[in-house]
Structure 1
Amino acid sequence: MEWTITADAPGKVCLMQGNEAVVRGAVEAGINFAASYPGSPSSQVLGMLGKIARERNFYAEWSTNEVCALEACIGVSLANARSLCVVKQNGLLCVADALHCGAQHGIKGGLVIITSDDPSAHSSTNEFDSRYQAMSADVPMLEPTNMQEAKDMIPYAFELSEKTQQMVIVRLTTRVCHGRGNVVLGELPEKPHQMQQVGEWDRLTCVNYLHEPMLKKLDNIQEVFETCPYNHYEGPEQPKKLIVAGGTGRLYCHEAIRRLEVGDEVGLLSLATVWPLPEKYILQYMRSAEQALVLEEVDPVLEHNLQALAGKYRLNIAFTGRSDGALPRIGELNPDIVMNAVAALADTPDYEEKTGVADTLPVRDLTFCAGCPHRATFYLLKKALKYEKNPGIVVGDIGCYIMSSQAAGFWAYQACNAMGSGVNLAEGLGQLTSYGLDQKVVTMCGDSTFFHTIIPGLVNARYHHANMLLMVLDNSATAMTGFQPHPGTGITAMGDQTQPMSIEKICEAIGCQVTIADPFDVQGTSKVLRDLLNQDGLKVLIMKQPCATLMSKQETKRRRVYVDQDICYGDGCGCDKFCSRVWGCPGNSWDFTKNKAKIDPMSCVGCGVCAQLCPSGAIKVEGGEEE
């Protein structure tokens, strides 16, 4: 796919993932700079940009966090450079201060922010709607429907950004990021966008008198959006029944209208210009409407804005959508949901016979990968806390280890707020241990999260002598989003080797007591945990063991783990099927025909933790570390 992204083949039709299409659009725009912190569903964008950066003569980096990424992009705009900042909806919240200030002072070189929303929170702690941030900051926002638009809107957004000297946000959603579709390639520039020397009187300073000019920029952008080529309408000239769709809702609606055979009576208005809304363009179709269904991902933002527009011009339209139950209040849209809503609008009672709505698929519980060190960490922590007089308090962060709040992590977490907040939650609770709270306080984070937002909180906790234990789950990668590098890995987005930063030394420099342990060493780490829990003050425990999936890609041999059927007592050992039910590793299961444990060689990665935990000693490990 790297060849396709950089191919100088205008007019060629390629099958592309949405994230790949965004990368191609950035290359066609001639970007000079790209920065991101990995966050699904858009993690692949910067990863691909990093691989082709030298070939296309631009710079790309995995920044330590989203604030670093956006502020670097604002900085390079001073030199008239085109920059792309990639975040997810949570990351857009992180950069709120920089976003609002940047919107007020404006930019020089084009600056496009890709934000990827995650309806149904497939890989997020929430399904926050990033359109609120665009509206709050008075920044224009576009939303593509398909992969072609995902590519084409990037150069358009850069041109709009430079024309108005304002940042532009392009909102993607999970199905656009990870879906695939045909894309017609455009022309590639001979070289990146022309940079300029930063002038003595170039100014990007946030002062209040710039508020009014910022609002005038938004007014100008609204006029531009009146003729935006990515807004579409199809249907009767003066529709009485109107559907207004944004993003993937347009694609689902196309299918519903076709299958329900209601194209002659229902109009479909597809809006790519999410904010500000092109009022004149929309009113062409709203003035005749009596009913309007609004299809959008996450919140009824568009619905409420259209209601306000109808009220402004005294239009009598009955709106339906996310607000009134025509669409679910939470979760992402799908073809069946949209089919139901369109059928209700078109008053098609026999639609189920025409469409054959699919049955709901069963839900599968999330779990850690086979051999994941986090499973061992949480098991050992829960076991250690059982020896305490009162139940311990465990709080944490977002990452693979978010599953610690579920069965896969033995229900260890009591709280997970936002990325980087676990150490601060624990600091507050740790202070209360001097005022009557008789419980051990534990928090944890991943190695990437440590660099992202934990350091300021750890400084605060150390300075104020919080009584708590911070466990850094160091698995040598940003594993949840696809193994992107971070400052502790010693590699950059462009593949350069650099000096890795030591989490241990950073913690020691702050003044923390640091211990390193291996979660796969059951006996040794259990003792370390119990000792640290019984010490007062702030302690840091680095649980160091590489991600099993990462290691499986690198190793040619692995240790063989198997069950000695002559030793395994089955139900008679009293373990209550510990291997499959309690431990829960995908590599461990239960042979119901023999009523004994078994190991799945296709899943097992040879970590051997189950052998250390097996009550009967029936699980054996063959092979040593030297292999």
Structure 2
Amino acid sequence: MANIEIDAPGTSQLFIGNEAIARGALEAGIGFAAAYPGTPSSEILGSLAQIAKKMGIYAEWSINEKVAMEAAAGASYAGVRALAAMKQNGINVVSDFLANLVMSGTGKGGLVLVSCDDPSAISSSNEQDTRPIAKWLDIPLVEPGDFQEAKDMTKWLFDLAEELGTLCMLRSVTRIAHARGNVKLGELPGKQHKAYFDQIHDLKNVMPTKFMPMPSSLRHFFLHMKLDKARDKFELSPFNRYVGPDKPDLLIITCGSCWLYSQDAVKALDLEDKVGILKLGTLWPLPEKFINKHLGKSQKILFVEEIDPFLERSVMEIVANLPSLSPHPTFYGKRSGHINAYGELNPNMVIKAISTVLELTYQPRDVVYGNKAEAVAKSNVPERSMTFCAGCPHRATFWAIRNAIKLDGRDGVVTGDIGCYSMALGPAGFFQVRTMHCMGAGAGVANGLGKLGQFGFDQPVLAVVGDSTFYHATIPALINGIYNQSKFILVILDNSATAMTGFQPHPGTGMTAMGEPTKVISMEALCRSLGARVEVCDPFDLESTTATLLEMMAEGGGAKVAIMRRQCELVRAKKEKPPYKVHVDAEKCIGEACGCDRLCTRIFLCPGLIWDKKTGKSKVDEVICNGCGVCVDVCPQGAIIKEAT
């Protein structure tokens, strides 16, 4: 990660958007930062944690997003500027607290929430848009349009949050969070303020030092006063701007990364003198006067934004209350089908929309050339499906689950969760997982399935969850299963890291975000304290793991726990050499004649095993293979050999 703490005001540094946000928080004088790792937001807290001790701040990976937000609020109550960061799914986790936090108000320390949305769900289970949530909860919301704004907005937002006494929110998206750009640095503040929670001295006026949402009507009134003040600030914000002619043929209204796409599209079409762009950085409450000033510029308005038609709907609400705007302009966007209603956008999509609205003919490249380029790419780039890494213990776990269910013979059901192991919905996990929703939901769904015996349901139920997700959201579902005697097995994939988001520590690793050793919260001790039967397995020992799962399926009683403990291969490989050197004995491998439908390369799907078309046999890719040796137990011919290194 970049050196976000560099004290060189006026110079430019190359930051990803998340680093720019972290730098903005530093320049704002942040003292406390909390987050739960989730792509594309993880680098915000990661950047701050690396330099926390040096800069005299505190940073933590919290158990989940709700606790992160609550902890940050606690710091705010004591006068310390605080930030909580999460991906869009985390906003759902924290929404109950947010609904009350905005009513109670914050302390003397500015409090900022950063949500990084993931259009196209590149690394998420959904592509939820958090802008409507900010509107629903009456949270002042901004969104940067480039990397400089990511830093500057964050810094400015802390001042605003402190002035208003309310939570303020910054929304980013993947292409801002993870792309890079030059950022001009500002000054870093001096010594932090001392934390102190004011006590109540005036019994006739307890509102300023009591943080609670009651009395709700009065608190709601105060909240709307804060929003009115925020709107006044937003009307004059430099983060809102118009670029283009006085009377454009088309007015684009946009925000965030779509501001960059819109500029590229207009430039590519050479329409700078015919198309205007109204870029909004303050999204809720909308700066209505600023918007009204530009609405009459054109009779054609195109909304360019990602995921939901948030600006489109909100601006149309404004126009509906403007009888003086006559005739009303024609609106184009997601509702009209000119902009995709889902997924990420890009300059080509915006070019197509502009061309359609203005009835232009635009061909970005020669059709023949395009077809040739695509053909060359297809012939030279190998097709790759999503799969676990070579040597991943999850592959072995799902192989054992697959075999145990087959041996049991009752068509077991596996419920899933969020993490690397979500790939078990497909061929990487042998299609074992049948449900996947949100963190902790697999165990919750298993609770219901496990209580259907009275309706004739006799299928084994296994709920698969990762170690970080176990601490995050699964413990309540496990308690529910034990308390209500639901019959299922909670399978915890303990690879000793929050692997999918960058190997951040969690309560089971014995390390904090700031690199300090801490007490390990033993998951087996915790589960046993609840009264559950707990078995700890090594997934690389396929025979023993399969037998344990089979025996647990057959056993009666309530919820049980099977912990699959094996360190993530990417972590192990950084510290140790491969335990085995693996190769295929060409004489024993009988290729397609094996009768197993090439189980090694078609079904087991470890990328370390490849098919040699010339010889018609399997072989080991020595560059990719991590030497776990699990494939040795998979080959029915015994053709795969391992030798200790």
How much does 1:288 deviate?
A: 2.8
Q: Is 2:141–2:171's contact at 8 Å kept on the other side of the alignment?
A: yes
Structure 2 letter corresponding to 1:125: S
Q: Is 1:266–1:346's contact at 8 Å kept on the other side of the alignment?
A: no
**Alignment partner, residue 119 of structure 2:** 119
Counterpart pick for 1:512 among 524, 528, 532: 532
Q: Work out the CA distance in 2 between the residues paired with 1:188 and 1:115.
A: 24
Counterpart pick for 1:337 among 349, 361, 369: 349
Query: How big is each residue's C-alpha offset from its partner over 1:231-271, in whole Å with a ceiling of 9 and x where there is no partner?
Result: 12110123341001111111111111111011111110111
- Map of 1:428-577 to 2, 5 A cutoff? 428-537=448-557, 538-577=559-598
The alignment partner of 2:454 has SS state of coil
The alignment partner of 2:112 has SS state of strand
Match status 1:385 vs 2:392: no
Q: Work out the CA distance in 1 between the residues paired with 2:91 and 2:55.
A: 27
Q: Work out the CA distance in 1 between the residues paired with 2:137 and 2:428.
A: 40
The alignment partner of 2:156 has SS state of helix
How much does 1:307 deviate?
A: 1.1
How much does 1:365 deviate?
A: 2.4
**Alignment partner, residue 83 of structure 1:** 82
The alignment partner of 2:259 has SS state of helix
Q: Is 1:21–1:151's contact at 8 Å kept on the other side of the alignment?
A: yes
- Map of 1:407-426 to 2, 5 A cutoff? 407-426=427-446
**Alignment partner, residue 612 of structure 1:** 633
- Map of 1:40-59 to 2, 5 A cutoff? 40-59=39-58
Unaligned ranges ≥5, structure 1: none
**Alignment partner, residue 249 of structure 1:** 258
The alignment partner of 1:120 has SS state of helix
Structure 1 letter corresponding to 2:424: S
Q: Is 2:258–2:304's contact at 8 Å kept on the other side of the alignment?
A: yes
Structure 1 letter corresponding to 2:45: L
Query: How big is each residue's C-alpha offset from its partner over 1:540-568, in whole Å with a ceiling of 9 and x where there is no partner?
Result: 10011111111111114542111111221
**Alignment partner, residue 203 of structure 2:** none
Q: Work out the CA distance in 2 between the residues paired with 1:183 and 1:50.
A: 20
Match status 1:321 vs 2:333: yes
**Alignment partner, residue 205 of structure 1:** 212
Counterpart pick for 2:359 among 316, 323, 347: 347
Identity of aligned residues (%): 44
Q: Is 1:56–1:192's contact at 8 Å kept on the other side of the alignment?
A: no
Q: Work out the CA distance in 2 between the residues paired with 1:548 and 1:232.
A: 49
Query: How big is each residue's C-alpha offset from its partner over 1:393-442, in whole Å with a ceiling of 9 and x where there is no partner?
Result: 11121011110111111111111121111111000110012331121111
Query: How big is each residue's C-alpha offset from its partner over 1:415-470, in whole Å with a ceiling of 9 and x where there is no partner?
Result: 11211111110001100123311211111100001110111111111000001111
**Alignment partner, residue 282 of structure 2:** 273
Structure 2 letter corresponding to 1:388: D
Q: Work out the CA distance in 2 between the residues paired with 1:317 and 1:541.
A: 62
More deviation in 189-198 or 478-487? 189-198
Q: Is 1:253–1:342's contact at 8 Å kept on the other side of the alignment?
A: no
TM-score, length-normalised on structure 2?
Answer: 0.94
- Map of 1:180-329 to 2, 5 A cutoff? 180-193=180-193, 195-200=195-200, 201=206, 202-207=209-214, 208=216, 209-314=218-323, 315=325, 316-329=328-341
Counterpart pick for 1:372 among 380, 392, 399: 392
Q: Displaced runs of 4+ in structure 1, greater than 3 A? A: 193-197, 350-364
Q: Is 2:248–2:273's contact at 8 Å kept on the other side of the alignment?
A: no
Q: Work out the CA distance in 2 between the residues paired with 1:446 and 1:50.
A: 23
How much does 1:353 deviate?
A: 5.3
Q: Work out the CA distance in 1 between the residues paired with 2:370 and 2:519.
A: 56
**Number of corresponding residues:** 623
Q: Work out the CA distance in 2 between the residues paired with 1:20 and 1:122.
A: 20
Counterpart pick for 2:600 among 568, 572, 579: 579
How much does 1:364 deviate?
A: 4.4
The alignment partner of 1:30 has SS state of coil
Unaligned ranges ≥5, structure 2: 201-205
The alignment partner of 1:398 has SS state of coil
Query: How big is each residue's C-alpha offset from its partner over 1:29-87, in whole Å with a ceiling of 9 and x where there is no partner?
Result: 11010000000001111112111001110111000011110011111111111001001
Q: Is 2:399–2:430's contact at 8 Å kept on the other side of the alignment?
A: yes
**Alignment partner, residue 163 of structure 1:** 163
Q: Is 1:260–1:354's contact at 8 Å kept on the other side of the alignment?
A: no
More deviation in 356-365 or 390-399? 356-365
- Map of 1:104-183 to 2, 5 A cutoff? 104-108=103-107, 109-183=109-183
**Alignment partner, residue 603 of structure 1:** 624
Q: Work out the CA distance in 1 between the residues paired with 2:395 and 2:10.
A: 49
Q: Is 1:516–1:544's contact at 8 Å kept on the other side of the alignment?
A: yes
The alignment partner of 1:394 has SS state of strand
